[in-house]
Amino acid sequence: MLSGHTGSWGDNEILEQARIATMRPGGRAEAYLNHYRQGSGADVHFSVKQLMDEDQSVKAHITRKINEMVAFFENSGTPMSSMIGIVGLAQKYFSNIDWQYATGSLNIKWSVVDKFERPNGRFLLVELSCVNVYRWHPEADRYTQCVHQAAQNLQKPASDFNVSAPLNPMDIGSYVGLKPGKTQKFPAARNFKMISKPERVILPKLSGIPNVSGSGAVSSV
């Protein structure tokens, strides 16, 4: 018996296998992928503060980059009300794979609300927010490129027609009587916004930090 599929079955199967192999069941990455595949395009809300609480590598990177910019602003005489910027959070800074596979790279907007001292050190009160688009990048050269291409293809899905054909008993190696099977339709996948509304976080004010200029924003991949 010869059997096969047409349409978007292969693309859907690639994503399904990627989900099984790399994503924690019931996790954030799986939920975001499923939301993309279902195709509503509705916004998804998350918390940068929660991301920092659950990924210490991300927290350390954001803390250091904000401190670098604050040092630059202080040395240039910038008033605290104008201490604003963007921290580029590339995927290499994640240690929590569930978060990394859910959001990809992010650009975190920040502003200094207050600076204060306590017996255990100096601190910054900052406001953080983020808006990012959940999308796949088949144009990027990476070992998972086929997965990105499959995800992109599902934005314009084709119905799958399962077909089969029995062996020809009169001619070994050939098939006769092509028979159509079930038809499966896939929803059109859609990009969506991931939004972290402004929230305030206390960060340590680090000493000995070299000041740098520039926003440090990254492309979201």
Structural domain spans, the chain: 8-161+182-204
3 state DSSP class of 22: helix
Buried b / exposed e over 133-146, threshold 16 CB at 10 Å, is ebbbbeeeeeeeee
4: left (phi over 0), alpha (psi -120 to 50) or beta: beta
Structure letter (DSSP) for residue 167: B
Whether 27 has a pLDDT exceeding 80, the answer reads yes
pLDDT on residue 158: 84
Task: Name which of 123, 119, 130, 115 is nearest 52 in CA terms.
Answer: 130
**What are the structure tokens assigned to 122, written together?**
């100096």
Average pLDDT, the chain: 87
CATH class held by domain 8-161+182-204: alpha beta
89: pLDDT confidence band, cut at 50, 70 and 90?
very high
Greater pLDDT, 176 or 162 = 162
What digits encode the pLDDT tens for the residues 166-219? Answer: 555 555 544 445 455 567 788 999 999 999 999 999 999 998 876 665 545 544
The pTM is what? 0.83
Which of 200, 203, 198 has its CA nearest to residue 61?
203
Write out the two tokens for 26: 């019931």
Enumerate residues 6+ apart whose C-beta is below 8 A from 146: 14
- Please give the structure tokens belonging to residue 133: 């688009």
pLDDT band for position 66 (50/70/90)? Answer: very high
